[in-house]
């Protein structure tokens, strides 16, 4: 068994990384391999559905602050005039899951509902770019879950405790490791990708307008999916995070603890208290 990323990488010297995590899940839950895999398959189906649902059909939600974002980005991704290549389609899928979540639809919290768009968007994009099999995707998802479990144990994935770095940042770290594994990277590369993704968003605050998980959450789902793929590519290129993943995770936790409460999901700071942010809250709650 493992309790941190270093131990996880060491265990992967004896067997494939996803097998290490799968075995630990069986031991922890008492479920057999088939039951665990069925659970992962179910979550993957939910992820795919949420990533596609709003691409053509804007979702209804309180305030409708982000309704139609996915459709807008998706259509832009198909017109050929973009700068970011097919990352636009990935961002559209991240937006889609965010819309589904805001509309009280079914999503897979990975690691949280507010960050639910990142892992599905990255997995689907990596699957397409690598022409990967469903089995490979599921192995990537298992690796992402292992990374997320370690961070949950040793730090936090709560925006109220650690800011958005603990939600969208951790989701990016999970997705980066998954993408590396799907591309045939080593366990150490997965760890480096995790660390790089977290470093890229260290200190990111949580400042939801009107207290709703809509803005800026949806934009961060889209941008952190790009962070995840960029971090994966850096690790696959042979870039070392230099700072071990476990130390980055610990640093993220310490930074989150030091964030003023105004920047931890209270809607009392950041863009939530901008003139427009306050006007939106007033319109929604003081009609």
Say whether pLDDT at 287 is over 90.
no
In the predicted model, what is the mean pLDDT of residues 10-24?
Answer: 97
Say whether pLDDT at 194 is over 70.
yes
pLDDT tens readout for residues 227-263:
999 999 999 999 999 999 999 999 999 999 999 999 9
Task: Give the residue among 187, 178, 73, 171 at the shortest CA–CA distance from 126.
Answer: 178
Res. 84 pLDDT band, cuts 50 70 90: confident
Helix (H) or strand (E) holding 147: helix 134-154
Note the pTM of the prediction, 2 decimals: 0.97
Cβ atoms within 10 Å, residue 257: 13
Cβ atoms within 10 Å, residue 233: 16
pLDDT at 85: 85
Residue 274: partners with Cβ closer than 8 Å, 6 or more residues away: none
Whole-angstrom Cα distance, residue 194 to residue 172? 8
pLDDT at 158: 98
pLDDT tens readout for residues 197-219:
999 999 999 999 999 999 999 99
Whole-angstrom Cα distance, residue 27 to residue 146? 13
pLDDT tens readout for residues 143-182:
999 999 999 999 999 999 999 999 999 999 999 999 999 9
In the predicted model, what is the mean pLDDT of residues 104-109?
Answer: 98
pLDDT at 178: 99
pLDDT tens readout for residues 118-143:
999 999 999 999 999 999 999 999 99
Task: Give the residue among 4, 91, 104, 90 at the shortest CA–CA distance from 62.
Answer: 104
Contact by Cβ (8 Å): 200, 172: yes
Structural domains of the chain, with CATH: 5-285 (1.10.4100)
CA atoms within 13 A on the CB side of 27: 8
Res. 222 pLDDT band, cuts 50 70 90: very high
CA 104 to chain centre: 19
Whole-angstrom Cα distance, residue 209 to residue 132? 38
Percent of the chain predicted with pLDDT > 70: 99
Cross-strand bridge partners of residue 264 = 206
Say whether pLDDT at 81 is over 80.
no
Whole-angstrom Cα distance, residue 152 to residue 254? 14
Contact by Cβ (8 Å): 172, 225: yes
């Amino acid at each position: 068994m493992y309790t941190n990323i270093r131990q996880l990488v060491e265990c992967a010297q004896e067997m494939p990384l996803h097998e290490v995590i799968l075995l630990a899940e069986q031991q922890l839950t008492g479920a057999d391999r088939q039951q665990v895999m069925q659970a992962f398959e179910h979550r993957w189906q939910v992820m795919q559905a949420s990533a596609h649902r709003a691409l053509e059909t804007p979702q209804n939600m309180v305030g409708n602050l982000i309704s139609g974002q996915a459709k807008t980005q998706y259509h832009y991704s198909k017109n050929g005039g973009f700068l970011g290549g097919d990352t636009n389609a990935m961002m559209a899928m991240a937006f889609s899951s965010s819309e589904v979540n805001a509309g009280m639809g079914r999503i897979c919290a990975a690691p949280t509902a507010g960050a639910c768009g990142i892992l599905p968007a990255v997995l689907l994009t990596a699957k397409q770019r690598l022409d990967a099999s469903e089995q490979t995707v599921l192995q990537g998802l298992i690796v992402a879950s292992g990374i997320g479990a370690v961070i949950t144990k040793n730090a936090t994935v709560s925006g109220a405790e650690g800011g958005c770095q603990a939600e969208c940042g951790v989701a990016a770290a999970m997705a980066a490791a998954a993408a590396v594994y799907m591309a045939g990277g080593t366990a150490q590369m997965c760890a480096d990708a995790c660390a790089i993704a977290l470093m890229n968003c260290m200190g990111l605050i949580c400042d939801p307008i009107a207290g709703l998980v809509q803005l800026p959450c949806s934009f961060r789902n889209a941008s952190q999916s790009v962070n995840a793929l960029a971090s994966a590519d850096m690790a696959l290129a042979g870039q070392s995070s230099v700072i071990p993943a476990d130390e980055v995770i610990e640093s993220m936790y310490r930074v989150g603890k030091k964030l003023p409460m105004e920047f931890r999901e209270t809607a009392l700071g950041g863009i939530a208290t901008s003139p427009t942010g306050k006007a939106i809250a007033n319109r929604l709650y003081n009609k």
